[in-house]
C-alpha cells in the first residue's frame, strides 16, 4: 500500500472517532506557524547557518484531549561551504502527520500541547543561482513538538512552541553519495483558527 493510501486510511479512521469529542469545544483547527531553526547535526559534514521555515497544519480533535494533525512544511538552511559546493541552500519540504495531546492549565483557557508524528519529506540542495543540484526524494522521518495555546479572541489562538525534526536521506552529487542526517530544532509561533 502506498504512503498516500496509508495516510488517507489513518485520516479516515480518525474522523470516524468523532463521537468521543466534547461538543462544547471546536474539533477542527487550522494553524499557520513560522520561525527560526538551528541544526543539531552537520548533514554530510556541513555546518548549516540558522534557518527559517513555516508549516500549515490541520488539527482534528477526536477525544477530549487527543487529536490528529496533518499538513505541509518547508524549512531552509544556507551553508557557506559544503560537500555540494559553496553558498548552497538545503531546503526540506514535505508532509507532517501525527497525534496531538492538548490540555488546559487548571481551569484556565490557556492550554499546553505536545505532538508526536512523522514526516514524509525530501531535501533539495540548490546552488547560488537557485538551481537544484540534488533532490533526495521523499522519505520518512519524525517530529516532536510542544508549546502553549493562548486564546486571543473567539476561536483564535497564538501557539508559541518548539519542535524537533529528524530526516535521514542520501544525496548524490557528482556521483558521490553522501548521507544527510538532517536534524534541527525550531522555535515557532503560530496562529490557529478553531472551527
Domain of residue 89, CATH code: 2.40.160.20
Q: Is 48 helix (H, G, I), strand (E, B) or coil?
A: coil
The span from the CA of 145 to the CA of 147, in Å, is 7
How many structural domains comprise the chain? 1
- State the DSSP string of 101-132: EEEESTTSS-EEEEEEEEEEEEEEEE-TTS-E
pTM: 0.83
Model pLDDT for residues 2-47, shown as the tens digit of each residue = 656 555 555 554 444 433 333 467 899 999 999 999 999 999 999 9
Q: Phi-psi region for residue 75, left (φ > 0), alpha (ψ -120 to 50) or beta?
A: beta
- 112-146 per-position pLDDT tens digit: 999 999 999 999 999 999 999 999 999 999 999 99
Q: For residue 189, what are the domain limits?
A: 3-194
Q: What's the pLDDT at 173?
A: 86
Residue 167, pLDDT above cutoff 50: yes
Q: Which of 20, 19, 29, 46 is nearest to 171 (CA)?
A: 46
**Cα–Cα distance between 95 and 70 in angstroms, integer?**
7
Nearest to 79, CA basis, from 125, 34, 137? 125
Amino acid at each position: 500500500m502506498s504512503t498516500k493510501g496509508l495516510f488517507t486510511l489513518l485520516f479516515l479512521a480518525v474522523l470516524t472517532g468523532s463521537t468521543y469529542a466534547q461538543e462544547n469545544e471546536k474539533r477542527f483547527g487550522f494553524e499557520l506557524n513560522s520561525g527560526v531553526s538551528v541544526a543539531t547535526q552537520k548533514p554530510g559534514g556541513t555546518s548549516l547557518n540558522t534557518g527559517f521555515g513555516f508549516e500549515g497544519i490541520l488539527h482534528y480533535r477526536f477525544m477530549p484531549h487527543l487529536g490528529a494533525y496533518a499538513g505541509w512544511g518547508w524549512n531552509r538552511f544556507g551553508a557557506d561551504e559544503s560537500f555540494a559546493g559553496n553558498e548552497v541552500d538545503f531546503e526540506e519540504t514535505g508532509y507532517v502527520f501525527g497525534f496531538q495531546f492538548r490540555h488546559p492549565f487548571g481551569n484556565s483557557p490557556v492550554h499546553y500541547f505536545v505532538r508526536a508524528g512523522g514526516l514524509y519529506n525530501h531535501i533539495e540542495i540548490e546552488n547560488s543561482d537557485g538551481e537544484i543540484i540534488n533532490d533526495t526524494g521523499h522519505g520518512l522521518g519524525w517530529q516532536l513538538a510542544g508549546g502553549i495555546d493562548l486564546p486571543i479572541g473567539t476561536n483564535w489562538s497564538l501557539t508559541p512552541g518548539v519542535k524537533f525534526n529528524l530526516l535521514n536521506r542520501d544525496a548524490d552529487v557528482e556521483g558521490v553519495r553522501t548521507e544527510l542526517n538532517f536534524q534541527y530544532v525550531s522555535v515557532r509561533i503560530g496562529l490557529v483558527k478553531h472551527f
